[in-house]
C-alpha cells in the first residue's frame, strides 16, 4: 500500500454511503439469541433487581415473550430457571423431573411458536442446594457421576422438545456423554451447543441473583470453570467439545473475552457464539440508566464487536430491545 499522502484512510470514511460500502460486518436480528429467566413462583413477572429491565417470568409470560421473539425476527431463545429452594437438594434431582418447570415450559413454547428455536441449559446448578454444577462429595465436585445426571437431563429435555441442549457445567467429557445418550434415545437430530470455553467469572453475579443460586453457592467454581488468565486452554476445551460432537460452541463471558472468540473462530471455523452475560448487561444498563452512556449506541456497538471478533451470534438479555431497534431501522 502506498503511504501518505497518496493513501488517505479518511477518503472512504467521508460519506455515509461510502462508509456503508466499506463496512466489514453487520449485525441483524438473525444474530440474536434472547436469554430469558423462567420462574416457578406465583407472580407472572418479578423484576431482577441487579438487571434493570429483566424479569423472571412464569410459563404464560414466557410463552408471550417467545411469541414476541418470533414477531421480532429473533431465531431462538435460551431459558434459565429460577427454582424454589424447596425443590433443591444436594443431587439437584429436580433437574431430571420430566414435569419440572423447564420441560413444561419447553412444551408450551413449542406448542405456541413451533418455528422458534429453543435452547436449554443442561445444568445442575439451578437445582442443587449448594449451587454447584456438579455432584458434590466432601467438598469435591465429582466429574464422572455428574455425567450420568447430565445424560438423563439432556434426554429428558430433548423429549420435551428442546431444539438445542447446551451443557453449561464444564465437566470433562460431558459433550460426548450427552451426545451419546441423545443418539441412543433416538434424538440424533437434537443439536448441541457447548459452553465450551466457560470461565470462572465474576460477571455471572447478577445471574446467580436472578436464578437464586447466589446465596446457596458454597465456594467458587474454579475447579471446573476456566481460569480467566488462560487462552490456549480454551482452544483445547473447544477442540475436545467439537470432537465429542458439539454442533456449536460458545465463549462465556462475552465482551472481556473477545480475544478468545477470535482465536476459536480462526482455529476451528465452527458456528461460534458469545454469551453477553448478566454482569455485562448490568454494567451497560446501570450506566445507561444514570445517563452516563448512550444506551442504544453502546449496546449496538457491543454487539457489533462480537461479530467483528468472529462470532456468528450472541446470547443476550438485550435481544428484544435490539431487535425492536433493528426493526425500526
Ligand atoms: C450455570 C450458568 C451460569 C450462567 C448460565 N448458566 C452461571 C454460572 O456458571 O455460575 C450465567 C449467565 C449469566 O451470567 O448471564 N450453569
Closest-lying ligand 1 atom to the alpha carbon of residue 133: 16
Which structural domain, as residue segments, surrounds residue 35?
Answer: 25-327
> Is residue 180, in this structure, part of any structural domain at all?
yes
- Predicted confidence at residue 314, as pLDDT, reads 99
Q: What pLDDT shows up at residue 122?
A: 97
**Nearest 10 degrees: Cα torsion 212, 93, 168, 104:** -80
Q: Does residue 18 lie within any of the structural domains?
A: no
Residues with pLDDT less than 70, the chain: 213-216
**252 in a structural domain:** yes
> In 3D, which of 96, 246, 94 has the Cα closest to residue 159?
96
> Is 178 a member of any domain?
yes
The domain total for the chain is: 1
Look at residue 201 and tell me if it is in a domain: yes
Query: Nearest 10 degrees: CA dihedral of 172, 213, 107, 157?
Result: 20
In a domain, 163, yes or no: yes
Just list the catalytic residues.
198, 252
HSE-up (13 A, CA, CB side) for residue 305: 15
pLDDT at 219: 83
pLDDT of residue 214: 62
Q: Give yes or no for a contact between 46 and 56, defined as CB atoms under 8 angstroms apart.
A: yes
Question: What CATH number is associated with residue 61?
Answer: 3.20.20.70
Residue-wise pLDDT tens digits, 139-162: 999 999 999 999 999 999 999 999
What residues are in contact with ligand 1 under a 6 Å CB criterion?
121, 123, 125, 133, 168, 204, 207-208, 221, 277-278
Q: Is the pTM of this model over 0.95?
A: yes
Element (H or E) spanning 214, and its range? none
Q: Coil, strand, or helix at residue 133?
A: coil
Tally Cβ neighbours within 10 Å of residue 45.
15
In a domain, 294, yes or no: yes
The strand pair at 248-252 and 272-276 is best described as parallel
d(CA 171, CA 240): 12
CA 17 / ligand 1 centre spacing (Å):
41
How much is the pLDDT for 269? 98
Is position 16 within any domain?
no
Which of 51, 133, 196, 207 has the most ligand 1 atoms within 8 A of CB, as the residue to mutate?
A: 207
Amino acid at each position: 500500500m502506498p503511504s501518505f499522502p497518496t493513501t488517505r484512510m479518511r477518503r472512504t470514511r467521508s460519506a455515509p454511503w461510502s462508509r456503508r460500502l466499506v463496512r466489514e460486518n453487520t449485525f441483524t436480528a438473525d444474530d440474536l439469541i434472547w436469554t430469558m429467566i423462567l420462574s416457578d413462583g406465583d407472580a407472572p413477572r418479578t423484576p431482577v433487581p441487579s438487571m434493570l429491565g429483566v424479569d423472571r417470568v412464569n410459563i404464560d409470560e414466557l410463552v408471550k415473550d417467545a411469541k414476541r421473539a418470533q414477531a421480532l425476527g429473533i431465531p431462538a431463545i435460551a431459558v434459565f430457571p429460577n427454582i424454589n429452594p424447596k425443590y433443591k437438594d444436594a443431587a439437584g434431582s429436580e433437574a431430571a423431573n420430566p414435569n419440572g418447570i423447564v420441560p413444561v415450559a419447553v412444551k408450551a413454547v413449542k406448542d405456541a411458536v413451533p418455528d422458534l428455536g429453543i435452547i436449554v441449559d443442561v445444568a445442575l446448578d439451578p437445582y442443587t442446594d449448594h449451587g454447584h454444577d456438579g455432584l458434590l462429595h466432601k467438598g469435591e465436585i465429582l466429574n464422572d457421576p455428574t455425567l450420568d445426571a447430565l445424560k438423563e437431563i439432556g434426554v429428558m429435555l430433548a423429549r420435551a422438545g428442546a431444539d438445542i441442549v447446551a451443557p453449561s457445567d464444564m465437566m470433562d467429557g460431558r459433550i460426548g456423554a450427552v451426545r451419546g445418550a441423545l443418539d441412543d434415545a433416538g434424538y440424533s437430530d437434537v443439536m448441541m451447543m457447548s459452553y465450551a470455553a466457560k470461565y470462572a467469572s465474576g460477571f455471572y453475579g447478577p445471574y446467580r441473583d436472578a436464578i437464586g443460586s447466589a446465596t446457596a453457592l458454597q465456594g467458587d467454581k474454579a475447579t471446573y470453570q476456566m481460569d480467566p488468565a488462560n487462552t490456549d486452554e480454551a482452544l483445547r476445551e473447544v477442540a475436545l467439545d467439537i470432537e465429542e460432537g458439539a454442533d456449536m460452541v460458545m465463549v462465556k463471558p462475552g465482551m472481556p473475552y473477545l480475544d478468545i472468540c477470535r482465536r476459536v473462530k480462526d482455529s476451528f471455523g465452527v458456528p461460534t457464539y458469545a454469551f453477553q452475560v448478566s454482569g455485562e448487561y448490568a454494567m451497560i444498563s446501570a450506566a445507561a440508566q444514570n445517563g452516563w452512556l448512550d444506551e442504544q449506541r453502546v449496546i449496538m456497538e457491543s454487539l457489533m464487536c462480537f461479530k467483528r471478533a468472529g462470532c456468528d451470534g450472541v446470547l443476550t438479555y438485550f435481544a428484544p430491545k435490539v431487535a425492536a431497534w433493528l426493526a425500526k431501522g
